[in-house]
Structure 1
Amino acid sequence: MKSLIIYCSDYKKNTEVIAQILADKMDSELINIRDVSDLDIESYDLIGFGSGVYKESFSPKLFKLVDKLNLAGKNVFVFSTSGVGMKFYNSRLIKILESKGAINKGSFACKGSFIAKDFTNKKLFNIMGRLSQGHPNQRDFKEAEGFIIRVLDSL
């Protein structure tokens, strides 16, 4: 099986760490979105899309790329890192992928550390930032590995 992971990790490289773990576990090609020029996905059996969450959304670069791809009948999965580590951020991309005929095989999310003052001066985000420190961590790595094993088992 031939697989590819495309990811965007602009801030602290939290998503890149998770992307690498997933790629290693499934012996996948790994491409940072900034390195994508001309992408032929025809030969891939499984494609993962990942992003850090920036201002409550995935990277616009990832949405632009997905818009250009013919994903009909392609097996896909989505992953993200964010200050809260919740899968609901993945929903928008999943809906777009499915609307393009892709077959969603799963969704994964974990916390990624961030410094609140880099984004806002709201105190709530200071608390969230403190709670996210040290993530992704060993537990997140194990959960990512378990997730990709389940995805592979579903094929």
Structure 2
Amino acid sequence: MKSVIIYCSAYKNHTEKIAKVFATEINAELINLKESKDIIIDNYDLIGFGSGVYKERMASQLFSCVESLSLKGKSTFVFSTSGVGKKFYNKKLIRLLELKGAKCKGSFACKGSFISKDFSDNKIFEFMSKFAQGHPNYKDLSEAERFIKK
């Protein structure tokens, strides 16, 4: 099975760390959207899409990329890193993939550390950032390995 992982990792490169774990485990090619514009997926059997979560949303570049691709019948998976590390951020992208005819085989999310002042002066984010410190950590990376092996 030929695989590729397309990702956007702009803040602290936490999403890139997870993408590299996936790529190592399934021998996938990596495409960083910061560096690539023309993406051809015809020869891939499995396509992973990942992003950090920025101001409560996955990167718009990733959505634009998905919009531009022909995904009918393609097997895909979605992953994200965020301050809370929850999969609910992946739902919008999963819906878009399904609308484009892709089969979503799974969803993964983990925490990524952040500095609250980089995004907001809201005290709740300062509180949340304390729980995200040091992530993704060894446990997160191990969970990523387990996820991709499924």
Q: Into which bin does the TM-score normalised by the smaller protein fall?
A: over 0.9
1:36 Cα deviation after fit: 1.8
- SS of the residue aligned with 2:40? coil
Q: Which amino acid aligns with 1:7?
A: Y
2:99 is matched with 99
Q: Which amino acid aligns with 1:131?
A: F
1:140 Cα deviation after fit: 0.2
Q: Deviations over 1:60-116 (max 9, x none)?
A: 100001000000000000000000000000000000000000000000000000000
Counterpart-to-counterpart distance in 2, 1:40 and 1:132 = 35
86-95 vs 33-42, which deviates more? 33-42
Counterpart-to-counterpart distance in 2, 1:39 and 1:65 = 8
2:52 is matched with 52
- SS of the residue aligned with 1:52? strand
1:131 is matched with 131
1:16 Cα deviation after fit: 0.5
Say what the alpha-carbon RMSD is for the aligned residues: 0.6
Q: Which amino acid aligns with 1:84?
A: V
Q: Map 1:82-97 to 2 at 5 A.
A: 82-97=82-97
Q: Which amino acid aligns with 2:21?
A: I
1:33 is matched with 33
1:38 Cα deviation after fit: 1.6
Counterpart-to-counterpart distance in 2, 1:34 and 1:80 = 16
Normalised to the residue count of structure 1, the TM-score between the two structures is: 0.95
Structure 1 unpaired stretches of 5+: 151-155
1:37 Cα deviation after fit: 2.2
2:145 is matched with 145
Structure 2 unpaired stretches of 5+: none
Instruction: Give the ranges of 4+ consecutive aligned residues of structure 1 lying more than 3 Å apart after TM superposition.
Output: none
1:142 Cα deviation after fit: 0.7
Counterpart-to-counterpart distance in 2, 1:85 and 1:34 = 22
| 2:71 counterpart of 1:71 | yes
Counterpart-to-counterpart distance in 2, 1:41 and 1:78 = 16
Q: Which amino acid aligns with 2:102?
A: A
- SS of the residue aligned with 1:141? helix
Normalised to the residue count of structure 2, the TM-score between the two structures is: 0.99
Counterpart-to-counterpart distance in 2, 1:63 and 1:52 = 12
